Amino acid sequence: MTKRRSCPVAPGPLEGYAARFDDLFGSLAQRRGFREYLAGLLAPRDRNKTLTALAGAEPVTGAGHAAVQRLQFFLSESRWDPEQVNSRRLELLLAGPATAPHGGGVLVIDDSGDRKDGTKTAHVGHQWLGRYGKTGNGVVTVTTVWADERLYYPVHAVPYTPAKHFPKGKNDPAFRTKLQIGADLAVRARDAGFAFRAVCADSAYGDQDGFRGELAEAGLPFVMALKPRRGTWACGPDAHTPVDAARELAWNGPDDPGDWQPVTRTFRDGHTETWFAADAELGWWGPDGARRLVAATADPATLPATATWYLVTGLPRPGGPRAAESPHPAAPLAEIVRIYGIRHWTGQSYKQVKDELGWADFQVRSDVAIRRHQALVNCAFSFCWDTWFGDHPPPHQPQTPRTATARGERGAMRRHTADAILATGITRDTRLAHPVDRAAALVAGVVESAPAAAAARPDEIGRGRLRPAPLHPKLTNYR
């Protein structure tokens, strides 16, 4: 067998990470393209991360530059499978002691819409773009994110294809709704080895009976939001919406909460808030039904819209008749509130994966090129966590200097010091800054912005799972 030619190494610790994917690429050009693309995504965001920006070329006149054309071919024409690359990324996350999923985390389902003009690009259509809060021409991608109180990372991503792209529209056998894609991704995450306490989603998914039914049929627990005015059939005097059901609960003030129970929410900056949660009844939903309606609010007297959640879950209540026969552990009200609180990682995902790493900056048209770009962005973000945990081992482990070792098929990680926050070395040309030193600073912003500090229950987390160490002093002021 002919020996593979060595590939130009990526800068800093990126080489060790990229080397773990080398066996998935059949040529030297593909291995080099993988490194160059990731390095470009990790570079400071001086402008949109199009192919010219990733290659360090001029925005318009540099489009014909050889480096830009190489990346264009790597993304659109060369033969490599983005699903295999994503599977390898997930294998590395599963194998990492600090990133391995555990039963106290959650799997968040969401969709992200990005503006795209024209009609020739795959998946483009006039549809609701949640990021902008209105309809427009763009691409919507359904995603799953694994998260706990300290950590999050993307798992799978599948672009939604509007009905107009199919010969028979919505009646075409190949057409799939966003709900169908989301349910399939949740099953794929479980089958890939990702443990989680429940599947979480906002009201766009939680309001759909069929979607919840698919998850229940697949044996997946869920905690999802409902719209306050979501109507359901009930007898005349009974509650017809979640907000009606919450108003029927007894409340006599904090000293006599009636049907409500106090729960404490702890936030990243250290402050705590006392909320109140209760099991409510709505139609056939109730504390001991197949579906529980849980209301959580900062003020049961007024139910403020900005500080009130209406949640539906299939998890049984402790001590209830369903607790013994349920395949999932019972969840008290505080646990339900904790689970849904983690869902807010999705907002942080938009800041880091989309705004910093250029999720929506692609300028390609084909389906495979779009999927490849998304897989590469997720690899860049996972590399950031890999670098962070390499430089910040748990407190109980000795922090010894790391040295580079010989590369194998998946390589050995080489680390850089935590002090290197900004570029310090000489760049390849006058237009580029050293890319990978931003990884630590990027993740520092992620860690500081985590939604809550409360840990999962001890019986839900493996004893050997590593915990992130406190932030390095020079990272805490990063904005």
pLDDT tens, position by position, 162-175 = 999 999 999 999 99
Q: Residue 253 has what pLDDT?
A: 93
pLDDT value of position 431: 32
pLDDT of residue 45: 78
pLDDT digits (tens, 9 = 90+) for 355-385: 788 888 888 899 999 999 999 999 999 998 8
pLDDT at 392: 59
Does the reported pTM lie above 0.75? Answer: yes
Helix 209-217 and helix 178-191, axial crossing angle in degrees, nearest 10: 20
Strands 198-201 and 106-115: parallel
At residue 475, the pLDDT reads 30
Q: Is 396 exposed, middle or buried (0-12, 13-18, 19+ CB in 10 A)?
A: exposed
Among 80, 173, 46, CA closest to 435? 46
Cite the beta strand spans of 206-317 per DSSP E: 222-225, 261-266, 272-280, 292-297, 308-313
Confidence (pLDDT) at 258: 95
Stretches where the chain sits below pLDDT 50 are 394-437, 452-479
Specify the pLDDT at position 62: 85
What pLDDT, in 10s, does the model give residues 270-294?
788 999 999 999 888 889 888 999 9
What was the pLDDT predicted at 396? 42
User: Partners of 262 in the beta sheet?
Assistant: 276
Cβ-based neighbours of 126, under 8 Å, separated by 6 or more: 135, 136, 137, 162
Please tell me the predicted confidence (pLDDT) of residue 436: 45
Q: Which pLDDT score is estimated for 236?
A: 57
pLDDT score for 272: 86
Q: Are 285 and 230 in contact (CB under 8 A)?
A: no
Per-residue pLDDT at 447? 52
pLDDT on residue 350 = 57
